């Protein structure tokens, strides 16, 4: 006799507000667990309700502190596996260590693959991620990976924000982001431009040239990650210097480390529109920052997985 597997939704400590949005959209309560630390920093997790035979979804962005949040997730997966759950689905809105996805130089690690190995070894049965830094990371896993994208949500925001799309140009801050920029441009039915830049050393970007017509245009910069904000703010300044009417910036993951907030505040960026994959404290939010909720998108993916329905409709 077939028995429906109960759904259990857990949130760890990296992005509780997003997890609550997902739970509300699904119409379920977050299942109970506690995350504590011993005096030496070791993580202790207690699952406070039965999960035997359940289909479990765990939400945890591996954002800063990256190592703590990743280790907490691995310990949670191990605890669930030992509690006889049916399936462990790991929802990672922001996948840390994704930027080290290949050997750019000799003797470098590929940490995106290492994290994939750790998640699988811990006991994950499926990964749900949003806007991975590199698409090939899906192939680092030997388990299913559902790769969601925030571009449609960003596109809907700008459709409501900007009235005349004939004035709009979507801009990629580098050659590597052209595919992402093209997807947003297609959704908005606008042309694209590309910023040609050279990066002399890590976290430093030098803008060199702009390919495409941006003079007198409303420019929308789009990137997957804004970390120290050097690339995006230099790009915005280059666009303004070359005659752009207004500059908006958008991203899937607002890491905002180092001097990012100061750079964004002092830049010509009119608004920074970002998906809420990373929980940003109120004291780090600027007036020009606009969060977009991806909770409904994640909830739809969870619902479809739980009911054995195709997830592809969410990102086709």
Do both 170 and 83 map to the same domain? no
Condensed to tens digits (0 to 9), the pLDDT of residues 186-243 reads 999 999 999 987 666 666 656 568 999 999 999 999 999 999 999 999 999 999 999 9
164 and 269, same domain (yes or no): yes
- Establish whether 243 is an annotated binding residue: no
For the chain, the domain total comes to 2
Say how many residues make up the chain: 316
Verify that 49 and 135 share a domain, yes or no. yes
102 and 171 part of one domain: no
Kindly state whether residues 227 and 101 are assigned to the same domain.
Answer: no
Whether residues 138 and 208 fall in one domain: no
Asked whether the predicted pLDDT for residue 158 surpasses 90, the reply is yes
Whole-model pTM: value is 0.93
Q: Is 60 annotated as a binding residue?
A: no
* Pair (185, 286) in one structural domain: yes
Q: What is the dihedral of CA 158, 281, 28, 131, to 10 degrees?
A: 50
Residue 1 in any domain: the answer is: no
Q: What is the pLDDT of residue 200?
A: 63
Report pLDDT digits (tens) over 265-289.
999 999 999 999 999 999 899 999 9
Per the DSSP assignment, residues forming a β-bridge with 52 are: none
User: Which domain, by its residues, includes 59?
Assistant: 7-149+295-314
Same domain, yes or no: 76 and 163? no
230 marked as binding residue = yes
CATH code of 282's domain: 3.40.50.2020
Catalytic residue flag (residue 197): yes
Please report the pLDDT score of residue 312 as a whole number: 87
List the catalytic residue out of 183, 197, 217, 300. 197
75/63 same-domain check: yes
Shared-domain flag, residues 136 and 198? no
In a domain, 235, yes or no: yes
Q: d(Cα 165, Cα 188) in Å, to the nearest integer?
A: 7
Residue 116 lies in a domain: yes
Q: Mind listing the pLDDT tens digit for each residue in 101-141?
A: 888 889 999 999 999 999 999 999 999 999 999 999 999 99
Angstrom CA distances, 38 to 5, 35, 290, stand at 34, 10, 37
Task: For residues 185 and 272, state if they share a domain.
Answer: yes
Q: In the prediction, which pLDDT does 309 show? A: 92
Taken in order 219, 223, 226, 227, is the CA torsion positive or negative?
negative
């Amino acid at each position: 006799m077939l028995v429906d597997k109960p759904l259990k939704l857990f949130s760890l400590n990296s992005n509780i507000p997003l997890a609550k949005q997902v739970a509300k959209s699904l119409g379920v309560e977050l299942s109970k667990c506690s995350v504590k630390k011993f005096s030496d920093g070791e993580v202790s997790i207690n699952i406070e309700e039965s999960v035997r035979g359940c289909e479990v979804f765990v939400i945890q962005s591996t954002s800063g502190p990256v190592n703590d949040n990743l280790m907490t997730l691995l310990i949670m997966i191990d605890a669930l596996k030992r509690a006889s759950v049916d399936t462990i689905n790991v929802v990672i809105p922001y996948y840390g260590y994704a930027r080290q996805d290949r050997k750019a130089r000799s003797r470098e690690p590929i940490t995106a693959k290492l994290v994939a190995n750790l998640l699988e070894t811990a006991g994950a049965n499926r990964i749900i991620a949003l806007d991975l830094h590199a698409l090939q990371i899906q192939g680092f896993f030997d388990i299913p990976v559902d790769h969601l994208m925030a571009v449609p949500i960003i596109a809907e925001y700008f459709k409501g924000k900007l009235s005349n799309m004939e004035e709009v140009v979507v801009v990629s801050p580098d050659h590597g982001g052209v595919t992402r920029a093209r997807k947003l441009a297609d959704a908005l039915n606008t042309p694209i431009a590309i910023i040609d830049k050279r990066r002399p050393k890590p976290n430093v970007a030098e803008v060199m040239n702009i390919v495409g017509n941006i003079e007198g245009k409303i420019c929308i910069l789009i990137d997957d990650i804004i970390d120290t904000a050097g690339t995006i703010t230099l790009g915005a300044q280059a666009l303004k210097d070359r005659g752009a009417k207004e500059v908006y910036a958008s991203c899937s993951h607002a890491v905002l480390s180092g001097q990012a907030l100061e750079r964004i505040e002092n830049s010509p960026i009119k608004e920074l529109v970002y998906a809420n994959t990373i929980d940003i404290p109120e004291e780090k939010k600027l007036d020009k920052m606009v969060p977009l909720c991806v909770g409904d998108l994640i909830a739809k993916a969870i619902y479809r997985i739980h009911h054995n329905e195709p997830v592809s409709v969410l990102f086709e």
